[in-house]
Structure 1
């Protein structure tokens, strides 16, 4: 197989959760540019439609599936719909997530559960439904979970997010341990500090902005497009012998003191 073919995703279909904007939309666009048909997911149907329209206008094959990734019944209904339509998910990107910044002593159990369910349990549930079908088809597949720097380290006031993203690293390893025999590669991406709507308040905080730039060897914030290369790699035949890993895209932040 040529180097070009190793990264060719023509004929594949990718479901990217939380892809009406930000990191999810950037990765979906990158996968589409590599040849996949993409299914965008989100809860805001108007925003989802606008994202799909933009990709379609660029010549990409795109559809949408609006469901709440923390709702098991909604997930199962969505996959039943894919089955009825004859849509096979070859690549799953578990990207949907939320953030909640609050000291642990002030954190309610319901707030904790909401972050864990959206950021971690959803990846298990959506991943399970995708894997069931990948296994039944017998043609393998790719699962890419989105972790974080907090899959490895912690910061104050984001305890549930940190616990969830630490769990993503171990969930990814568990997926590899169980599903590699079926030709499924499950890996994760750990973004560093990226300019997104979720981080808007941090980007606009002059002190925090200076800390990120000073703490990161690359000297800048990441951009959503910085995740495209690794997403395409992990979705493609090029990563056929890569399994259970998390790749940090952080400008070198974790590499230095």
Structure 2
């Protein structure tokens, strides 16, 4: 019988040994919460960002102020060369890569027949091609290291349920579901697990307009049995758990974190 790679921590302390993680889109929102959760669990962090470096640099300074090891790396995950460079940066900084969290994502709503070509292409590039390229690069490194690994994709409930005026986003997340399931089977022989987390309504800057509208906010809350928005920290806790020994026998699946929304929602 094949033995599981040792040293992935326990259910109590989550990650008992020092690890290195990349979090794409890790400077703000859910990504920043994931960075904080992983760094608190003895994990070296590489924060991927695109554009304005200030949020990533501020987060690095925050973590370093708490004695955590962290660096920022600008990389456009939709470009294969940048994905390779991101993994190389992690290895250069910390000598290894154990965890990849594909969190970077974008969303723009248009009626289907009015959706610009560039919106479709951009969302597929960031939300689906990005995880493909980053996972491929990370898996090569993890296989070479020969001690297993974790890949966690931040997907969405819209990998499963429709969202009118949001076709590119839903298609990208649906694709991410099958990407995770497929590569999980291929990478299992190396003790690399691959899973998705599927958030519902989470209080982040991406949903600020909905939260600010009393009408939209109340309509959305009516679809959520727990009748509140989720917190980025709650998603981060789930990601941390999937990276722990407690979840070592879980791979190729999606864990939903939505306050029960999918149990009663149709098309949102």
Q: Do both share a fold (TM > 0.5)?
A: yes
1:114 is the counterpart of 2:122: yes
Cα gap change, 1:180 to 1:58, in 2 (>3 Å): same
Query: 1:39: how far off?
Result: 1.0
Residues in 1 aligned to 2:10 and 2:39: alpha-carbon distance in whole angstroms: 20
1:215 is the counterpart of 2:234: no
1:12 is the counterpart of 2:19: yes
Query: 1:85: how far off?
Result: 4.5
Is residue 52–residue 63 contact of structure 1 (8 Å, CA) maintained in 2?
yes
Query: 1:196: how far off?
Result: 0.8
Within-5 A mapping of 1:18-97: 18-43=25-50, 44-85=52-93, 87-97=95-105
Indicate the residue corresponding to 2:252 in structure 1: 244
1:185 is the counterpart of 2:189: no
Residues in 1 aligned to 2:195 and 2:120: alpha-carbon distance in whole angstroms: 25
Residues in 2 aligned to 1:250 and 1:4: alpha-carbon distance in whole angstroms: 25
Structure 2 segments unaligned to the other structure (5+ residues): 1-8
Residues in 1 aligned to 2:157 and 2:231: alpha-carbon distance in whole angstroms: 15
Query: 1:86: how far off?
Result: 5.4
Query: 1:9: how far off?
Result: 4.3
Q: Spell out, residue by residue over 1:181-218, the C-alpha distance to the aligned partner (whole angstroms, 9 max, x if none).
A: 11000001000101111111111121110012111011
Corresponding residue SS for 1:215: coil
Residues in 1 aligned to 2:256 and 2:92: alpha-carbon distance in whole angstroms: 37
Residues in 2 aligned to 1:86 and 1:223: alpha-carbon distance in whole angstroms: 30
The structure where helix makes up a greater share of residues is 1
Corresponding residue SS for 1:63: strand
Query: 1:82: how far off?
Result: 3.6
Aligned residues: CA RMSD: 1.5
Q: Which runs of 4+ in 1 moved over 3 A?
A: 80-86
Relative to the length of structure 1, the TM-score reads 0.95
Is residue 32–residue 38 contact of structure 1 (8 Å, CA) maintained in 2?
yes
Indicate the residue corresponding to 1:123 in structure 2: 131
Query: 1:26: how far off?
Result: 0.1
Query: 1:168: how far off?
Result: 1.1
How many residues of Structure 1 are paired with residues of Structure 2 in the alignment?
256
1:205 is the counterpart of 2:180: no
Query: 1:79: how far off?
Result: 2.7
Structure 1 segments unaligned to the other structure (5+ residues): none
